[in-house]
Amino acid sequence: MSQQQMVGVGLRSPHVSQVITQQPDIGWFEIHSENYFNPASMAREQLRQIAEHYPISCHGIGLSLGSADPLSRDHLVQLKQLVDEVNPIAVSDHLSWSSVDGQFFNDLLPLPYTEEALNNFCKKVEQVQDFLGRQLLVENPSSYLSFQHSEIPEWEFLHHVQQRTGCGLLLDFNNIYVSAFNHGFDSNEYIAALDPLAVKEIHLAGFTVKKFDDGEVWIDTHSKPVSEPVWQMYRHWIQQHGATPTLIEWDLDIPELSVLLAEADKANTILMQEAQYGQITTT
């Protein structure tokens, strides 16, 4: 992947027809894998058309890697069929859980950062990688609550997962920024704890502030432009570690495609300005 092709945007249903007919100038598209599991669906056929012209990244929200439940065989089979057909540049999911006793929740829930949870999560990641026959990228979550019995900070947990399993990391700077405010940790300490060579993809997005009488919570809504502090985090990363495949996420209050492409242009400008002497890290 050349430096000029490193920035992508999330493929969202309001933009699909425009992408097919106009083929905008963008490096790649990321899909939410589960939306394309049905091989006979219109969405899958549209994806086939788009994949003829653009690299695709498959980003999952349903593996529930942190659950105590076994992995869903049906989910894995459908994911592998999609991956085998699309041949994506990356396959990813989250440091989270979303099911228990067969009941699925429409959210990505936080883990207790304990040795037991670490062993379980690593086992699941290894099972997925073995089943798919390729590396999985694990994304750091945004969170609003934490477990009192966590034994280590999230960044150490994520680092241990990467070291034990050989998975890649999908580093979401907005998630780090939001969680740092909500939990009171240092975002720089988080980033410094991770192996930069393991970071194969970066996510950039916007957030919303929810105010209460006694304070406020920052929520990773993916409904606004990337904030200036997150751009600064991104710029610093590129200065230190070189160009890394980068995605603009926008999932709620979705604007015109031109707005996402303008955000992608900002990321590409930073890459061109700051990575000229840096290492290019690709999947």
Residue ranges and CATH numbers for the domains of the chain are 3-274 (3.20.20.150)
Distance, in Å, from the CA atom of 112 to the CA atom of 116, rounded to the nearest integer, reads 9
What residue ranges in 76-230 does DSSP mark as E strands? 90-94, 97-100, 103-109, 137-139, 168-172, 199-204, 208-212, 215-219
Q: Does residue 280 surpass a pLDDT of 50?
A: no
What is this structure's pTM? 0.92
* Average pLDDT estimate for 37-41: 98
pLDDT given for residue 1 in this prediction: 63
Q: Which of 40-54, 135-149, 189-203, 230-244 shows the lowest mean pLDDT across its residues?
A: 135-149
pLDDT given for residue 277 in this prediction: 44
Q: Which of 2-6, 111-115, 198-202 shows the lowest mean pLDDT across its residues?
A: 2-6
pLDDT given for residue 216 in this prediction: 82
Distance, in Å, from the CA atom of 148 to the CA atom of 243, rounded to the nearest integer, reads 37
pLDDT given for residue 104 in this prediction: 65
* Average pLDDT estimate for 252-274: 96
